[in-house]
Amino acid sequence: MKIIRILLPVLLAAASCKSMKSTSEEPQLEGTHWKLVALNEKSIDLGENAFVEFKDKKASGKAGCNSFTSEYESAGKSLSLSKIASTKMFCNDMMDKENQIITNLESVKRYEIRYGLLYLYGSNKLLMTYKK
């Protein structure tokens, strides 16, 4: 019984250190290449044609066919993109998805990063999911 009293705090401390370590290993919003994997809660695979990167208060990437750039502000878990500009090439069978991606980016209010995934939300609705 005495051994359990001694080992239990040690095991709990070790377990808490391990969980803290895994949290700190999550990718950061800034400086990570995020590939789109879900749009409006539906799985999507556009390969490298849909991604976003955040760097130096700028967000840039591709929305399916066209490239985009934007300024962004982040404080805590809040996130907003403004002044979104994109190229205007026409792409068959891609324009509806691309327009939805840009519209969703304009609607982002907050984000979460969990298990290597970036979740972008408008008010309380999940808009897009990206993976590292």
pLDDT in tens, 53-82: 999 999 999 999 999 999 999 999 999 999
- Report the pLDDT value the prediction gives residue 2, as an integer from 0 to 100: 47
In angstroms, the CA 120 to CA 63 distance is 15
pLDDT, position 42: 97
Q: Residue 26 burial (CB < 10 Å; 0-12/13-18/19+)? A: middle
| Predicted pLDDT of residue 115 | 95
Contact by Cβ (8 Å): 72, 80 = yes
pLDDT of residue 38: 98
What's the per-residue H, E or C state across 49-73? HEEEEEECCEEEEEECCCEEEEEEE
What domains lie within the chain, and their CATH numbers? 27-131 (2.40.128.270)
What pLDDT, on a 0 to 100 scale, did the predictor assign at position 5? 44
Quote the pLDDT of residue 99.
95
Which residues have C-beta within 8 Å of that of residue 26, sequence separation ≥ 6?
113, 114, 115, 116
Residues of the chain with pLDDT under 70: 1-24
pLDDT for 24: 58
**Rounded Cα–Cα distance for residues 55 and 21 (Å):** 25
